[in-house]
Structure 1
Amino acid sequence: MTGVITYEYPLNERVRTLLRLEDLYDRVNHFYSLEHAHDHHACLTGMFEIIEVASRADLKSDLLQELDRQRTFLDALRDNPAISRDKLDQVLTDLDSAFSNLHATSGKTGQNLRENEWLMAIKQRAGIPGGTSEFDLPSYHYWLQHPADDRRNDLAVWMKPLQPVHSALSLVLRVLRESGRTVSLVATQGMFQQTPAEKPAQMLRLTIASDLACIPEISANKYALNIRFLVPEGVQKSRVYDRDVAFELAFCNL
């Protein structure tokens, strides 16, 4: 299927947190690579969002547990002739590295940022609309006037302790996505319903052609999966797409 849009729908809170963090890390890395002071402001506020989302006490232990479980599972496949030994070794190396780096971190994710009073003053003001104006935070305004490379060096220092979580969750989500078996389905007049498989999935990946003027609305529980394809009409109104919609669906599970 060419020219497609993929929608991912988490089916538990842990995956929902990982997807939110992945999006935040992608945004931070995007703005970090740019030059303007507004870009680096967006990068820094993205870091503040990361430490808020990642403040769950069990996030680190969840990631370590999952990395170790995947490492044990894949290591048992070494003698399987259907598995590429080189690719397996590379994945195991990545898992070992991510596990070791995450295990070596101490305290909450972003503790280094929390202990920086200057950054926490910016974080507090950033929660207020227009709160980081130059007259509110003159020292921050002064920092934003530094050359882009100097700002980027500071951002890299602040970001470095957050990287082990990024590496770990990226690996876990990669394994989760690759676990899905994709099936081709049709939503009759924009509606689709299916009873779930015996083993509950942790995430759905739905793919449709990008030229279809509709978006999926997904609801799922242990009894049924319901998908409605909606046509956006204005800011708040929408209606069900009244044609058949071909789509692909993958149930992903760790």
Structure 2
Amino acid sequence: MIDFEYPLNERIRTLLRLEDLFARIGHFHRGDSPMDHHQVLQSIFELLEVASRADLKVDLVQELERQRQTLLAFRDNPDISPEALSGALYEIEQASSGLLSVPGKIGHYLRENDWLMGIRSRASMPGGACQFDLPSYHHWQARDPEARRRDLEGWLRPLMPIREGIAIVLRLLRASGRPEMQLAQRGMYQVMLGGRPMQLVRVCVAHRLNAAPEISANKYVLNVRFMTPEPAGRPRQVTDDVEFELTVCNL
């Protein structure tokens, strides 16, 4: 099964972009080659660009506090495991404390590093990070992998509370919806929402169906159109019925 997610507001769109960038950083950070670590730096620069567009830290702290208050209301519910509830509350409180400990604007210490910002400026150009453009960066890439990794970890460490806060908010958001099987007749599906609030739509479809959804939505209607993925040409709308799993999420 392939899971497709569609954010319905700018805040969730930003969180999903940052989640993807942190996942990319985690993947390439484990590598040893200079190209692996170049991709880590590229992803850090993209992360700074995305995070600078919103008051992300405040938004995350406020959302975590809202979820903490929601969970506290279940404290006397006999159907809720006290251990699970305490664990969730502790995780949220730790994440909030970590976010509040982040000083200033996200990544400000990176923006004050002239060496990194020089790489960022050149790397934004096609082929701009060649060794003749950035000899000091080429020298850094020639260092031992563990030495490079220590530098990367030092640059990334202050960003980890952001990653943890994003992970908790998105996990709670995804868990807020109930998956339901639906049928897109001749590749088309529409449902009226009647103003029901939602922040994220998830569509899960079997890989064997060779169908990728194009999703559009507002608070009144949700449209899903399935297209055939055509890497070598123009996508076409699926003409067969498509069975898929739909989840509408809202915190």
User: Could you say whether these structures have the same fold, taking a TM-score greater than 0.5 normalized by the shorter chain as the test?
Assistant: yes
CA RMSD in angstroms, aligned pairs only: 1.1
User: 1:80 is paired with a residue of what secondary structure?
Assistant: coil
What does 1:210-221 correspond to in 2, within 5 Å?
210-221=207-218
Task: State the Cα distance separating 1:199 from its structure 2 match.
Answer: 2.2
User: 2:181 is paired with a residue of what secondary structure?
Assistant: strand
Task: State the Cα distance separating 1:223 from its structure 2 match.
Answer: 2.7
- Describe the shift of the 1:200–1:38 C-alpha distance in structure 2 as closer, same or farther (beyond 3 A): same
Unaligned runs of 5+ in 1: none
CA distance in 2, matches of 1:134, 1:234: 33
From 151, 154, 158, the equivalent of 2:155 is: 158
CA distance in 2, matches of 1:199, 1:224: 9
Aligned counterpart, 2:118: 121
What does 1:16-95 correspond to in 2, within 5 Å?
16-95=13-92
Q: TM-score, normalised by structure 2?
A: 0.97
The one-letter code matched in structure 2 to 1:114 is R
* Kept in 2: contact 1:99–1:168 (CA 8 A): yes
Q: How many residues align?
A: 251
CA distance in 2, matches of 1:41, 1:182: 39
User: 1:184 is paired with a residue of what secondary structure?
Assistant: strand
What does 1:1-254 correspond to in 2, within 5 Å?
4-254=1-251
Unaligned runs of 5+ in 2: none
CA distance in 1, matches of 2:151, 2:176: 38
User: 1:132 is paired with a residue of what secondary structure?
Assistant: coil
* Kept in 2: contact 1:184–1:246 (CA 8 A): yes
Segments ≥4 residues shifted beyond 3 Å? 233-236
CA distance in 1, matches of 2:229, 2:205: 16
CA distance in 2, matches of 1:234, 1:64: 41
The one-letter code matched in structure 2 to 1:38 is M
CA distance in 1, matches of 2:202, 2:44: 27
Q: TM-score, normalised by structure 1?
A: 0.96
The one-letter code matched in structure 1 to 2:225 is R
Task: State the Cα distance separating 1:216 from its structure 2 match.
Answer: 0.4
Select between 93-102 and 52-61 the one with higher mean Cα deviation. Answer: 52-61
The one-letter code matched in structure 2 to 1:69 is R
CA distance in 2, matches of 1:228, 1:56: 31
Task: State the Cα distance separating 1:222 from its structure 2 match.
Answer: 2.6
Task: State the Cα distance separating 1:75 from its structure 2 match.
Answer: 1.5
* Kept in 2: contact 1:57–1:108 (CA 8 A): no
CA distance in 2, matches of 1:81, 1:198: 33
* Kept in 1: contact 2:111–2:117 (CA 8 A): yes
* Kept in 1: contact 2:195–2:219 (CA 8 A): no
User: 2:143 is paired with a residue of what secondary structure?
Assistant: coil
CA distance in 2, matches of 1:232, 1:24: 24
* Kept in 1: contact 2:32–2:145 (CA 8 A): yes
For residues 126-172 of structure 1, the C-alpha deviation after alignment (integer angstroms, 9 at most, x for no partner) is 10111111111110000000111000000000001111111001100
